[in-house]
A and B are shown apart, each in its own frame.
Chain A
């Protein structure tokens, strides 16, 4: 039997939580089509929500307030626009205000190329407000770390998932090169493009370091994250969300503050995502990353 995929890993964690941990899972149309890309088991503890996005999030927060550690599934991150208020205004705040927590695990699933309202990546929104721990796990091991982080703490967690990673079985590893001219930090689905970007740049004689970021908040900037930047002298943070005021810009700023070295951001353009090319405004792929790296290096020569 081969290694489990990310989807199978999520399903396994969920089954254990529901069958052995007394947990709950709430979401819309969970059992309707493919059990959310094969990530949800058919077992007890699943609550099919009516099409009431704000109330549905409120139900999940209420369950969290009384200790059920609910998993709240949002099939498309764009719906966080509706679901967000009970999560941000209540779950995120109550520990500070009342000394009582509402630890809800929000599975917010992102996609690409599915049009204007099913392709959003909104984890930056949850990084902006205090209270949530924010992850973007792209591999089975990272998902287990994300889950353990949730269970070991009493904060709500946003797991910014991406459909492009559900079939992965292997981990994503950092890349260090002794002659690296720049360090690229990856968030979410652009991380799956890093190996190819490295190869393309190497063909031009440009070498880069790659650092994978799975936990976005609280952001831990230790030696693993900072040493490659100090060695290469320049940084670039790449995210699947919007660039302006987004995760990439915020983390680039944090890197610069921590090292005194320049770090740039690459995310989506400040344009509404549309259905068809060339207006899809998709997540940065290897070619886009390569182009930005070239641009940074040419401007700094």
Chain B
């Protein structure tokens, strides 16, 4: 069931303008190259605090950030991608990871506790108990009826308070899009070892429309638009984690690399040249942030 094409409509990318396609790609590249700088800083022992890398899942953040632009976000611990795609400053993120006063939370909170409150976005920092952000987002939506994104992982989806939050949002018809970033791993334990049930089925039993979808950014954008009109709703997005749960270690090549798949698709769409320029622009920006040459290892 889990695959890079799960429920992705055929030819979906071709239904979007070149501008949208390149915006999606640009946002993905910014995350990937920013984190190339993080990995380099870790290897050089310049960065010694724990980091939770988003590489591999950045297409979801890119699509969500084009889907909504005035909302409150209750993100999970792994949220460099959400922070950057929704407009957070890479310099402030870098400084937060380094524990500097100029960081997004003055260096006090770190990689897994990112916040951003500008330009119509209110992204609240996570505190490390997985899924804790979900009831908070639901409570906030109840309190102010504002468009809300609750973003959590497939492990968090198993927390009783996350499931209770789905039910409460359904009861009160809250404007919440629940987004499960499903990398099929809790630390290194696969989902099938942990549970027999499916979060989409559970959500539907609460009365929430739910879609299980691979992380194709064009499909995410289209399905996301459809779900946005039916909130509360749940989107389960199948992604591949590029690195370990914490830190910059990895277990070899992931099942698929969405960034490479998007490059290939842009090439097929006749956008290879603009895509290369876009990637170079993102790379250059992050080289400036980290003050070093950056390259992707794969």
Interface residues of A (CB under 8 A from B): 24, 47, 49-50, 52, 54-68, 70, 85-86, 89-90, 93-94, 96-100
**Nearest-CB residue, chain A, relative to B110:** A97
Question: Which residue of A24, A56, A68, A89 is within 8 Å of B132 (Cβ)?
Answer: A89
Closest 9 CB pairs of A and B: A58-B135, A62-B139, A59-B139, A52-B164, A62-B136, A55-B164, A63-B143, A55-B161, A62-B140
Bound-complex Cα distance A66 to B141 (A): 9
A70 contact set on B, CB distance < 8 A: 139, 143
A52 contact set on B, CB distance < 8 A: 160-161, 164, 167-168
Bound-complex Cα distance A61 to B133 (A): 10
CB proximity of A33 to chain B, nearest CB, Å:
22
Q: Does B243 contact A (CB under 8 A)?
A: no
CB proximity of B72 to chain A, nearest CB, Å:
7
Q: Would you call A98 and B165 a contact (CB within 8 A)?
A: no
Q: Would you call B127 and A89 a contact (CB within 8 A)?
A: yes
Bound-complex Cα distance A97 to B124 (A): 11
Q: Is the interface of A mostly helix, strand, loop or mixed?
A: helix
Q: Would you call A85 and B129 a contact (CB within 8 A)?
A: yes
CB proximity of A45 to chain B, nearest CB, Å:
11
Question: Which residue of A24, A57, A93, A99 is within 8 Å of B127 (Cβ)?
Answer: A93
CB proximity of A259 to chain B, nearest CB, Å:
35
B72 contact set on A, CB distance < 8 A: 66
Q: Does B108 contact A (CB under 8 A)?
A: yes
Known contacts A55-B164, A55-B165, A59-B168: A98-B115 contact under CB 8 Å: yes
Given A56-B135, A58-B138, A89-B128, 17 more pairs with CB closer than 8 A: A50-B164, A50-B171, A54-B160, A54-B164, A55-B160, A59-B142, A62-B137, A63-B139, A63-B140, A66-B143, A66-B144, A66-B146, A90-B127, A90-B132, A97-B105, A98-B124, A100-B124
Question: Which residue of A62, A67, A100 is within 8 Å of B142 (Cβ)?
Answer: A62
Q: Does B134 contact A (CB under 8 A)?
A: yes
B144 contact set on A, CB distance < 8 A: 66-68
Can you name 30 A-B pairs with beta carbons within 8 Å?
Answer: A47-B142, A52-B160, A52-B164, A52-B167, A54-B160, A56-B135, A58-B135, A58-B136, A58-B138, A58-B161, A59-B139, A59-B165, A61-B139, A62-B139, A63-B140, A65-B124, A66-B72, A66-B146, A67-B143, A68-B144, A70-B139, A86-B135, A89-B132, A90-B127, A94-B124, A94-B127, A98-B105, A98-B108, A98-B109, A99-B105
Bound-complex Cα distance A52 to B160 (A): 8
Q: Does B37 contact A (CB under 8 A)?
A: no
A94 contact set on B, CB distance < 8 A: 124-125, 127
Those of B98-123 within 8 Å (CB) of chain A: 105-106, 108-109, 113, 115, 117, 122
Q: Would you call A90 and B136 a contact (CB within 8 A)?
A: yes
Interface residues on chain B, number (Cβ under 8 Å): 36
Q: Would you call B135 and A59 a contact (CB within 8 A)?
A: yes
Known contacts A85-B129, A94-B125: A58-B109 contact under CB 8 Å: no
CB proximity of A157 to chain B, nearest CB, Å:
17
A56 contact set on B, CB distance < 8 A: 135, 164
**Nearest-CB residue, chain A, relative to B141:** A62
CB proximity of A104 to chain B, nearest CB, Å:
10
Q: Would you call A97 and B127 a contact (CB within 8 A)?
A: yes
B129 contact set on A, CB distance < 8 A: 85, 89-90
B113 contact set on A, CB distance < 8 A: 97-98
CB proximity of B282 to chain A, nearest CB, Å:
28
A68 contact set on B, CB distance < 8 A: 143-144
**Nearest-CB residue, chain B, relative to A60:** B139
**Nearest-CB residue, chain B, relative to A92:** B127
> Which of B109, B139, B140, B165 counts the most chain A CB atoms within 10 A?
B139
B167 contact set on A, CB distance < 8 A: 50, 52
A47 contact set on B, CB distance < 8 A: 142
A85 contact set on B, CB distance < 8 A: 129, 132
Q: Would you call B124 and A55 a contact (CB within 8 A)?
A: no
B165 contact set on A, CB distance < 8 A: 55, 58-59
Q: Would you call B132 and A97 a contact (CB within 8 A)?
A: no
Bound-complex Cα distance A287 to B160 (A): 45
CB proximity of B73 to chain A, nearest CB, Å:
12
